[in-house]
Structure 1
Amino acid sequence: MNRRTFVRNGATALCLLPVFESPVFARLKRVAPADKPTWLLELIKGNDQQLITVRALRITDTANLAFGGLKDNDDIPNPQTTADFVRRASCAMSCPESEHYRSKALLEEIDVALKYLLKVQHFDGTLDLPATNFHSTPDTGFIVKRLTTGYSLLSKSGTPAMDGVLATFKSFLLKAGEALVVGGIHTPNHRWVVSAALAKLNTLWPDARYVARVDQWLSEHIDMDVDGQYNERSTLIYSPLTNRLLITIAKNLNKPYLLDYVRRNLAMTLHYVHPNGELVTEASGRQDKAGIGTPEGYWYAYRYIALLDKNGEMAAMCRQIEKTLLPKSIYYVDYFLDDPAIWRELPPSQPLPTNYVRAFPKSGLVRIRRGDWDSTILQANPVWLTFHKGNAILQGLRIAASFFGKGQFQTETIDKQGDTWILTQSLDGPYYQTYPPETVPADGDWEKMLRSNRKQSEIQRLQTRITIREVQRGIEATIQMTGTNNVPVALELIFRPGGNFTGVTKHPNRDNAYLVSNSGSYTVQSDTITFGPGLQQHKNVQLRGSLPAMDAPTVYLTGFTPFQHTITLT
C-alpha cells in the first residue's frame, strides 16, 4: 500500500473561491518597470558565466544510468546539482540579454536533465539528498520552490519546440507536489520550504490540497523570538532563507501578515553586520556557527521590503550589497527575474546603524559597534568575546583552567550592571567516599555503583567572573578566578589568519601559538588590533579539559589561581 495518503476534505472547495489580492502587494506591482536594471543585467551575465562550470558536471554518456543528470564535486550524481542546472539554464533561456536566449542546445540539455530527475524521483514524489536524507520531503521542497520559477520563466521564453520539455517539467513538479502535501520535515525552516514550494505550485496549478497543507504548517506559527530572530539563529543560511520563503508564501497565497516577520528579522540583522561587511554568526544553532560570510542572502528580502515600505535603511543595505557583493548574488537571479516589481529604483538611503549597543537576550549576545570596530559578547559559548576592527579580526577569547578536566569557561548569563556586562561560572571538583556497604554489588561491578550514591568529600571549587566594559576605542575585560589555588590558567586570543604580530614570542613547542608578556598587536592590511598587557607565568597552553586549539594564530596569556588580569583590546 502506498505509504502516503491524503484525506480530501471541505478545503477542496477553496479552489473555487475568488482570490482578492491585498493592497500591500497591488501597490508594489502597479509601478513595475519594463526594462531590467543594470544590476540585474550583471546577474544575467554572471549566470551565463557560471553555467560554463555547471554544464561541465553533466553526465553525457548515454550508457550511464545517470545520463542527463549532474554530479557533484565528489562525482556523485544527484538531484540537487541537476535541478540547479535546470534552474540556471531556464533563467538564461528566458532572458534576451543572455547568450543562451532560446537556445536549442540548452533546451535539449534541460530535457535530459528533467528526465533524469523523473527517473530518480521515488513513487511517492520524493527525492534523495545523497549526503544524508532519503525519500526526503524537505529536500524535494528545496528543489521545487526554485524549479517552479524555472518552469515559469521557460514557459514565457517563447523558445521553439519547448512544449514537450514543459510537459516533462510539469510531470516532475506535480509528482513532487504529491509528496509535499503529506510529507514530514526535520527542522523549523523545512516547514516554510515545503509551504513556499506548495504556494508556487498552487500559482501554476491551483489545488486546494496545496493551500490546506500550507495552512496546516502556518497554524504552528512563525518561530520568531522577541529579538526578531528565527529559532535556528542561522544568520548566514536559514534566516535569510526563511525571509525569502515567507515572502514567497505571502505573495503567492495573499498572506501579507507574514511580511511582518521578515521586517523584524531584517531590522535585527542590520545590527549583526561587522565593519568589514561580514555577519555575526557565533550564536547560530546550525552549521554556519562561527562561519565567515556576508549578507547577500538577504538582498532579495531587503529590496522587497525597502520598496514596499519606502524604508531608507533597508535601501541602504541593498545598495551596499549591490556595490560589494553582486558576484556572490548570482545564485539568486531567479528571484529577481521572477519579480519585476522589485526592479524599481530604491527609495533614498538612510544611514545604516554603525554606532550602538544592542542586547539580543534570546540569541544570547550583546552587540557593540562604534564605527570601524565592533565587539560581540556571547553566552552559552566557549568563545565569550569577539573583536573586529576593519580587516583585523579577533575571532574570539576563550579561557580555561586545569580544573578536574572541566575548566573550559562558558557563561550561562550575561548580566548588565551599569556600564558593564558580567559573565560568571561556578565549578566544583569533589572526591567520592566508599560505596554504602549494604548496596555494594556482589560481583564488584564498578558500573553498578552509581556515583550519585557516594558521599562527596574534599570538594574543590572554582568561581570565574569576567567583567566587560567599553573603553575609548575598544573593550576591556577583567577576569577573576578564585577558589582552589595554584590551578593553571590559559587565556586564548584567537585571531583570523592573514595578519602579522608585533610584541609576541613564538611558543617553543606549538605551531600557531604565541606568548605575550607586555603589549602586542595584530595587523591586517591597514587595520591593527592592539592587546595587552600580556601575562606569561607558564607555557602550558593546552590544558587538560580545555577545547583543542583552533587552527588559527593564537596568543596565550598564562597564570595560576587566584587569577586576576585585565586585558584591553583597541
Structure 2
Amino acid sequence: MTLHTDTTQSDTFVADVIAAADAETAALLQASTDVSTAGLGPHRESMRRAKLLVAVFLEPASAFTGSPAVVGLAETYARILHDLQSPTGLFLGGDNVESPPDTGFTINDVGDILELARRSGDPRLDRVAEILGGIADRAAPAMLAGGVHTPNHRWELSAALVRLHRHRPDERLTARAREWLAEGVDIDADGLYSERSANYAVYVSNPSLLVIADILDLPELHEVVARNLEATLGLIHPDGSVETVHSRRQDQREPVFPLAPYALHYRHLALETGRGDFAWAARVAASAPVIDPQTALADMLLHPALREALPSAVPPATRVRHAWPVSGLVVDRTPERTLVVFGGSDYAVARRIRSGLASNPTFLRLFGGDAVLESVRLSRHFFGLGPFRADRMTVADDRIVLEEHLSPAYFGPLDAARRRPDGDYRVVDEGRFSAAMSFDERPRHEVPLDTRIEIVPIEDGAEVTVETDGPICAWNLEFAFRAGGAFEGVTPAADGTVVLGSGSARYRVGADAIEVGPGTGSSAAAGYLPGEDYDYLGGTDALGGPRLYVSGTTPGRATVTVRRVR
C-alpha cells in the first residue's frame, strides 16, 4: 500500500473515534450476556473496557449516551478490577510481579475515569467512581514508594502519581513525580527517547509527559513531546508505517509499526502550535482505523479543544534526506523510492543480544511503491559471530559507509605462574562463548575480519558495495521482501528463497518491482546464520518470506544494485 497524502480531505477523526468506540461498546454489551465471555481480567484490559464504557456514556454524540446498560457493565468491570488488586495495592499479571509501573498503566486509566466522573457530576457514575476511587487509594502508597526497570516506566509511573494527586491531592505524590523528572527526560539530540522505540514513545512517554505537563503546569514537557513528534516525521514511510529498525525494544523486530496510534498526539500538538507538518501527520495517522478508541474518546472529553479543526496541512518534501546521528539512522527519499540505512547497532559495544539493546542486523531497507524490500543483511561463515552489524558509520553527501572490525582469537597455553594443577580456572566470556579457561590470562592469536559496506543512493535505489579483508570465508547478502508479490526471472525454491548466481532478478507487486543484481557468480552456499548468541539455544532472528541471496567469498569486493523498476 502506498501512502495517500491528500491534504484536502475532510477531518473526520472525531466522528471516527466515536464510531469506533460505539462499535466496541456494542460488542462488549453483546458478550456480557454470558459471564464466561465478559472478559475477566487481566487488569489492564478490564480497565480499558471500563474506560470505554464511561467515555461513551458521557459522549453526547455516542449511541450509548446515558445508557443504564453501559453504566451497569462499567460497574462490573470496576468490580473485576477491584478483585484483581493484590493486598499491596498493585496488580498481578505477566512476568513483572508486583510491578508499580505495570500497575501504573491501569491506574492512569483509573485516574482519567475518576476525573471524567468528577467533571460530569452525573450521580449515575457514583458507584463506578466509588469502586475506582478505592482502588486508587489502595494503590497510592505502592506507587509512591515503587521503582521501575525501564526508562519509559519513569514517565508512566509519574503520570500515575500526578493523576492520583488530581483525584485526592497529596503533595507527597507530586514530590515523587518531580523526583523522577529531576533525572531529566531521556530525549537525545536526534529528538528520540533513549529506547528509540516508536511503541514506547507513542504509548508511554509522549502521553505520560503530556498529562504530567498539564497537571503540574510544566509546559516545557510539551516542547519535549513536540521534539519527538518532529523527529518522527522523518520516520514516516510511504506505506504509513514508522521506522523501527533502530529501536532498542521489541518493535525493532516489527518492520511495520503503524502511524495510527500517533493520531491523537500529532492532533494535540498541531492544534496547540499551529504546525502544518503536524497537521499533515495527524491526518495521515487518522486515515487508518482508530486504535484504542477508549483513550482517544476519553482524551477528547477531557480536552474539548481536540475536537477543533486542524490547521492547514503541509506535506513533507518528496526529495529529502533525514539523519539521526545518535541512532545511526538515515532515511533518504526521492519521488521514486525511500531508502533506509541503519548503522547504529549496540552490538559492537555490548557484544551480546539483550532486551534493551538495538541489535537488528538489517542495514538497508527500500520502499519502491507497493514493492517493499524489508531487509538487507550480510551473513558470514565466520566463527559463529553472526551477521554484519556496523560499529562505525560515515555519512557523506553522495554515500553512506558502514564498517565493522571483528577479531576473534585462538588462545595459547597459560604462563607457568598461572597454571593450576587441579585444572580449576575461572569462567570467562571470550566474545563468542564462555568457558572455565581464564581466557583473559592467555595469549591471544587473533583472526581479524574487516568489512566495509558502501551505499551510494541513486534516484531509484542504491548501489551496495561489500568490501572485505580477512581470511577466506563465505558470505551472503540476504534481500528479504514483504510478502504479497512474486519473483520474476528466477524460480524460487520451495521455501520461497532464490539464489542469484548471475544476472538480475525482480520482485514484483502489481505495477511496482524491485530489481536486484548482478549476482557475483559465486557458488558459496546461500543462507542466513544468526550467530552463536542464538544458535547455542536453537534460536534465531532469521526472517521468513520471500528472500533472495547473493553470495561471495572474502577477501574481495562486490557491488550489487537494488532499484525500483516499473
- Normalised TM-score (structure 2): 0.85
Over 3 Å counting, the alpha-carbon distance change for 1:372 and 1:245 in structure 2 is farther
SS of 1:463's equivalent in the other structure is strand
SS of 1:328's equivalent in the other structure is coil
Q: Which amino acid counterpart does residue 438 of structure 2 have in structure 1?
A: L
Shift of 1:368: 0.9
Kept in 2: contact 1:68–1:113 (CA 8 A): no
1:191 aligns with 2:154: yes
Shift of 1:276: 1.4
1:557 aligns with 2:553: no
Corresponding residue for residue 285 of structure 2: 321
Q: RMSD between aligned alpha carbons?
A: 2.5
SS of 1:237's equivalent in the other structure is helix
Shift of 1:205: 2.9
CA distance in 2: counterparts of 1:165 and 1:330, whole angstroms = 20
SS of 1:101's equivalent in the other structure is coil
SS of 1:131's equivalent in the other structure is coil
Q: Which amino acid counterpart does residue 356 of structure 1 have in structure 2?
A: V
Corresponding residue for residue 393 of structure 1: 372
Over 3 Å counting, the alpha-carbon distance change for 1:545 and 1:210 in structure 2 is closer
The Cα offsets for residues 184-218 of structure 1, whole Å up to 9 and x where unpaired, read as 11211111112222223333332222221221111
SS of 1:301's equivalent in the other structure is helix
Shift of 1:530: 1.5
CA distance in 1: counterparts of 2:26 and 2:80, whole angstroms = 20
Deviates more, 1:331-340 or 1:79-88: 331-340
CA distance in 1: counterparts of 2:412 and 2:25, whole angstroms = 69
Shift of 1:54: 4.3
Corresponding residue for residue 540 of structure 1: 525
Shift of 1:285: 0.9
SS of 2:305's equivalent in the other structure is helix
Corresponding residue for residue 50 of structure 2: 86
Shift of 1:545: 6.2
Deviates more, 1:234-243 or 1:279-288: 234-243
- Superposed counterparts of 1:390-539, under 5 Å: 390-406=369-385, 408-444=387-423, 448-457=436-445, 459-485=446-472, 487-507=473-493, 511-516=495-500, 517-538=502-523
Corresponding residue for residue 173 of structure 1: 136
Kept in 2: contact 1:512–1:552 (CA 8 A): yes
Over 3 Å counting, the alpha-carbon distance change for 1:85 and 1:533 in structure 2 is same
1:133 aligns with 2:126: no
CA distance in 2: counterparts of 1:268 and 1:422, whole angstroms = 23
Corresponding residue for residue 338 of structure 1: 302
Kept in 1: contact 2:387–2:529 (CA 8 A): no
CA distance in 2: counterparts of 1:396 and 1:568, whole angstroms = 14
CA distance in 1: counterparts of 2:413 and 2:161, whole angstroms = 63
SS of 1:493's equivalent in the other structure is strand
- Superposed counterparts of 1:107-126, under 5 Å: 107-126=71-90
Over 3 Å counting, the alpha-carbon distance change for 1:176 and 1:59 in structure 2 is farther
Deviates more, 1:266-275 or 1:335-344: 335-344
Over 3 Å counting, the alpha-carbon distance change for 1:553 and 1:536 in structure 2 is farther
CA distance in 2: counterparts of 1:410 and 1:560, whole angstroms = 18
Shift of 1:272: 0.4
1:106 aligns with 2:106: no
The Cα offsets for residues 392-419 of structure 1, whole Å up to 9 and x where unpaired, read as 1111111122122225211112112452
Report percent identity of matched pairs.
Answer: 30
CA distance in 2: counterparts of 1:148 and 1:439, whole angstroms = 63
Q: Which amino acid counterpart does residue 480 of structure 2 have in structure 1?
A: I
Shift of 1:553: 1.2
Over 3 Å counting, the alpha-carbon distance change for 1:140 and 1:68 in structure 2 is farther
Deviates more, 1:155-164 or 1:415-424: 155-164
Q: Which amino acid counterpart does residue 565 of structure 1 have in structure 2?
A: A
SS of 2:252's equivalent in the other structure is coil
Shift of 1:477: 1.1
Corresponding residue for residue 48 of structure 1: 22
Kept in 2: contact 1:103–1:159 (CA 8 A): no
Kept in 2: contact 1:69–1:82 (CA 8 A): no
CA distance in 2: counterparts of 1:337 and 1:321, whole angstroms = 20
1:263 aligns with 2:226: yes
Corresponding residue for residue 39 of structure 2: 70
Corresponding residue for residue 169 of structure 2: 206
SS of 2:44's equivalent in the other structure is helix
Kept in 2: contact 1:419–1:469 (CA 8 A): yes
Kept in 2: contact 1:95–1:157 (CA 8 A): no
CA distance in 1: counterparts of 2:123 and 2:202, whole angstroms = 40
Over 3 Å counting, the alpha-carbon distance change for 1:548 and 1:146 in structure 2 is closer
CA distance in 1: counterparts of 2:272 and 2:528, whole angstroms = 55
Kept in 1: contact 2:391–2:405 (CA 8 A): no
CA distance in 1: counterparts of 2:126 and 2:323, whole angstroms = 55
Over 3 Å counting, the alpha-carbon distance change for 1:166 and 1:135 in structure 2 is same
Shift of 1:270: 0.5
Shift of 1:162: 3.3
CA distance in 2: counterparts of 1:339 and 1:531, whole angstroms = 51
SS of 1:414's equivalent in the other structure is strand
CA distance in 2: counterparts of 1:528 and 1:442, whole angstroms = 66
Kept in 1: contact 2:322–2:330 (CA 8 A): yes
Shift of 1:353: 3.9
Shift of 1:448: 4.8
1:146 aligns with 2:94: no
Shift of 1:225: 0.3
CA distance in 2: counterparts of 1:134 and 1:450, whole angstroms = 37
Kept in 1: contact 2:261–2:285 (CA 8 A): no
CA distance in 2: counterparts of 1:418 and 1:41, whole angstroms = 45
- Structure 1's unaligned 5+ residue stretches are 1-36, 62-66, 72-76
